Structure 1
Amino acid sequence: MKNNIAIRVENLHKSFGDGDSLVEVIKDASFTINKGELIGLIAPSGGGKTTLLMMIGCVEEPSSGKIWIGEEKVYDNRWLTNETRKIRREKIGFIFQAHYLIPFLNIIDNLTLLPQANKINEKAAQKRAMELLRYFGIGDKEKAMPSQLSGGQNQRVAIARALVNNPRIILADEPTAALDMQRSVDVVKMLKQIAVEQKVAIVMVTHDDRMLPYCDRIMKIENKATIFDQ
């Protein structure tokens, strides 16, 4: 069903430079990703995984093509809005290899920073943040500083931060790269649970083939084009 589509991309192209220095990174990428799906995105090193993720996330401008976020077309050979930052704040959550928590803020303040920037009042922001911390089993860590948490706990906080504004899409760029095998599996299972329970579309870049069985579908970048495993 059309209204079940979270991300739609048509003929997306990205190149850098021009003339003799032109480098094509992504060529004619076309795909749809549904709500509730966990997609594993793989490619060789330098194959364009992060570039594709950043184009979907309205961070990197494509060279050409079309992008829909839900039912809203946001790019058609140019950005169709001047509010790409607003789209990112309200509709997209990002998770990275490093947690990038603000070291001088405690955990609850790290989580409430973005909602308050979106004009959510402090009480409502704190309620949502605590719901997420309890959901991830770290509800007793709200006053702790990032330096007092383990790597796995900080990554849980980073995932909670990506969810705090109720995004419809989460883009995760190698979120398990800094974790050991067991913590990596725990994080990917967590992402799968989030996708299913909250109907969020999640695209996860990974270099670790052991994480792929937990994904609903695997998307590859081969010869600059995107294909799904059958």
Structure 2
Amino acid sequence: MNKQAIKVENLVKTFGKGDSLVSVIKDANFQINKGELVALIAPSGAGKTTLLMMIGCVEEPTSGTIWLGDEKVYENRWLTKETRKIRREKIGFIFQAHYLIPFLNVIENVTLVPQTNGVSEKEAYKTAMDLLKYFEIEDKAYNMPSQLSGGQNQRVAIARALANIPQIILADEPTAALDSERSVSVVKMLKKIALDQNVAIIMVTHDEAMLPFCDRILKIKNKQVVSEDISKYKTVI
């Protein structure tokens, strides 16, 4: 069985033209397998979110190749016009802010994407309740986001990201708005999800305290994506 969830080859991203050309990512090459939680680190402005959004079929690369699972989705151009469909069906997004819809309750927020994808209301509801139970917030199913704590809202956001049963989760600074205790809880949760659901997760983070809980670290250095030795962080757990 193919374990590959994400494969990137010779990926390049530039902005502008001529004298104003700015290179962000140069010849990125890496693979991430199902069941892995991989941290993506770099200084601010180094291209972490840009790389994440290229993998997520939101930002178009300049050149290179991207596979999501067995499907090659980009080779110097998008190979499908349905990039939105790929995002809906294959990818879950988690952001620093939870971005829950404030006028929908928790269960409505979590069922929205599956129902948009054509899943029946009954099936979407069952999946959502299973996820909320998994995250130990099923008692908040009919609460509004404004009635939840920051940590609870982030759990709902993670449940929403999983509701369409994605192959890949892209998490952009998911713990930045949380205190250290809640941050560790969320990252441990992401690690458990990667294993339990056989999902590949890329997590952008600035917080070195979160790195010991990851399987691998990718670092953007001099516009290249390189592997960072994780063993020096593991000793602090």
Offset, 1:110 = 0.5
Report how many residues are paired: 229
1:56 and 2:60 correspond:
no
Deviations, residues 48-95 of structure 1 (Å, cap 9, x unaligned): 000000000000000000000001000000000001000000000000
Which residue of structure 2 lines up, in the alignment, with residue 194 of structure 1?
193
Q: What does residue 17 of structure 1 align with? A: 16
Alignment of 1:93 onto 2:117: no
Task: Name 1:33's counterpart in structure 2.
Answer: 32
5+ long unaligned stretches in structure 1: none
Counterpart-to-counterpart distance in 2, 1:160 and 1:116: 15
Letter aligned with residue 96 of structure 1: F
Q: What is the CA RMSD across the aligned residues, in angstroms?
A: 0.6
Q: Deviations over 1:69-128 (max 9, x none)?
A: 001000000000001000000000000000000000000000111111001010000000
Q: Distance in 1 between matches of 2:123 and 2:39?
A: 33
Q: Structure 1: which amino acid aligns with 2:170?
A: L
Runs of 4+ aligned residues of structure 1 deviating over 3 Å after TM superposition are none
2:170 paired residue number: 171
DSSP 3-state at the match of 1:140: helix
Map of 1:70 onto structure 2: 69
What is the alpha-carbon distance in structure 2 between the residues aligned to residue 35 and residue 180 of structure 1? 29
Which residue matches 2:235? none
SS in 1 for 2:98: coil
Counterparts of 2:219 and 2:139 in 1: how far apart (Å)?
40
Instruction: Using the TM superposition, give the Cα deviation of residue 229 of structure 1 relative to its aligned residue in structure 2, in angstroms.
Output: 1.8
Structure 1 residue aligned with 2:232: none
Amino acid at match of 2:153: N
- Distance in 2 (CA, whole Å) between partners of 1:197 and 1:103 is 30
Q: Which position in structure 2 is the counterpart of 1:106?
A: 105
Residue identity matched to 2:105: N
TM-score by length of 2: 0.96
Structure 2: unaligned runs, 5 residues or longer: 230-237
Counterpart AA for 1:87:
I
Question: Does residue 1:149 correspond to 2:148, yes or no?
Answer: yes
Counterpart secondary structure, 2:99: coil
